[in-house]
Structures are given as C-alpha cells and as structure tokens.
Amino acid sequence: MLQLRPFESLGHANHGWLDAHHHFSFAEYYDPARMHWGNLRVWNDDLIAAGSGFPPHPHRDMEIITYVREGAISHQDSLGNKGRTEAGDVQVMSAGTGIVHSEYNLEDIDTRIFQIWIVPERTGEAPQWGSRPFPKGERGEGFVTLASGRAGDEDSLQIRTDARLVAATLRAGETAEYRFDAERRGYLVPAKGLVEINGLRAKARDGVAIEQEAVLRVTAIEDSEIVLVDVA
C-alpha cells in the first residue's frame, strides 16, 4: 500500500533564514496522523539561507541523518568534530547520551537538506558523528545504501537502529527496484524530478509512505534523485 503525501500538504514554517517543511509533526506543526512512520520520527525539508544556520543546541537519544541536496552544510560539535558535507553526501550523528552541535550554511548560496531522525534501538552509548561523500556520478545503477544499522551494511555510515537509508539517481526512463523484508515500512521522497512508484506518480519533495509492498519499482518520468528510508 502506498500513501501519497503531497508537498503542499506538509507542515510549513518560514523563519526567514530557515524555510522548513515537515513530513511529520515537528516543533509547532502537529498532526496526530503524522507523528511517525515505524521508527522514523522526523523528515524535514529545509532551505537554509546563505550565511546562516542552526547555532549550538543539544540532542540526546536520536539518530540524525542529514542528506544534502544543494549547497553544503558545516558541522561542529562538543566532541571536537568539524566537517563540511556537500550536495549528494550524507552525515550521521548518533546523539547517544548527549551532544551539542551547530549546523551552518557558510556558502554564498542557499543550502537545501533533508534532515531525518530515526529512533535508536540502543541508548546509553557515547555520541558520535561521521560523514561520507557519495558523489552522484559514482553511484551506478539502482539504489545505494548510504547509512544503515542493518546486518550486512557495514560499509555504509552506521546508525544505532534497525533502519536503512538508500538513494538513487535515475535518468528519464530508467527504473530501480528495492525489495522489502516482510512487515517492514518505507518512506520515499524524490529530491528532484518526477517518478512513478508501483503505478503511483510523485513529484519532487512529495512524500510516499509505504507498507505491505514486497517490491518497490521506481521509474523516472524525468531525470530524478530519490531518497528512501527502510524502517521497522
């Protein structure tokens, strides 16, 4: 079963420097029907204006994945980590017992990101942060695993929960398939383009909630970039 959540139906908050759209209840946006999807808790579609960003703030007991769509984001945290994550790349922060971090757009252009929060299975562990480049031109065909806490995905960025983040870039007319284990759910968002998912059409930044689908067949109607989370 597929449920389309059009971009126009998402929660929205424009703070000037931050233009945020929320797939799930977050901050002042509340929708009891969109509290979570399995262990997926947050999917924010953020535009961060050039020269602005999130000042230092704390997190605890959450797996936070940032997928950079355009521009770049610069990270700094209380562990001493510093990094700049560019478009097409991913950073992961396991907040664990507690971490304070900042995220700034130090570029001269706006930065667009997906920020994804997944509830951890393991708590009480030390916080950690990591990033990895995944250049689009080197992804090859089909879905590529970018971050995961599932067995067999040790080459990806690691998270402390039973979930997997995958992405694919498709030219118009190309198709990619993703297979789900029984009883698992998914949430898919085209970062750009227009796609058809098991017969359902979704445009850029729409959300598609997925359950009871053994195989997901995604065909690009136009050149597209797709991000998918597989959750318990």
Chain segment 94-133, per-residue pLDDT in tens: 999 999 999 999 999 999 999 999 999 999 999 999 998 8
Rounded distance, CA 209 to CA 3, Å? 5
Helix/strand/coil percentages in the chain, nearest 5: 5, 60, 40
Three-state DSSP state, 104: strand
Is residue 105 domain-shared with residue 156, that is, in the same domain?
Answer: no
Confidence of residue 141 (pLDDT cuts 50, 70, 90): confident
Is residue 75 part of an annotated ligand binding site? no
Tokens of 166: 């995958």
**Contact (Cβ atoms closer than 8 angstroms) between residue 136 and residue 88:** yes
- % of the chain residues with pLDDT over 70: 97
Is residue 21 part of an annotated ligand binding site? no
Report the number of secondary-structure helices (H) and strands (E) in the chain.
0, 20
Asked if residue 140 has pLDDT above 80, the reply is no
Taking alpha carbons only, the member of 33, 27, 32 closest to residue 12 is 27
Q: Residue 5: inside a domain, yes or no?
A: no
Domain span at 172: 144-231
| Angle of CA points 156, 161, 166, to nearest 5° | 40
Q: Which residue has the tokens 């977050």?
A: 26
Is residue 170 domain-shared with residue 220, that is, in the same domain?
Answer: yes
Is residue 57 part of an annotated ligand binding site? yes
Specify the pairing of strand 144-148 against strand 157-158.
Answer: parallel
Is residue 59 part of an annotated ligand binding site? yes
Please name the helix (run of DSSP H) or strand (run of DSSP E) that holds residue 52, with its range, or none: strand 52-59
Domain end among 81, 106, 132:
132
Q: How many domains does the chain have?
A: 2
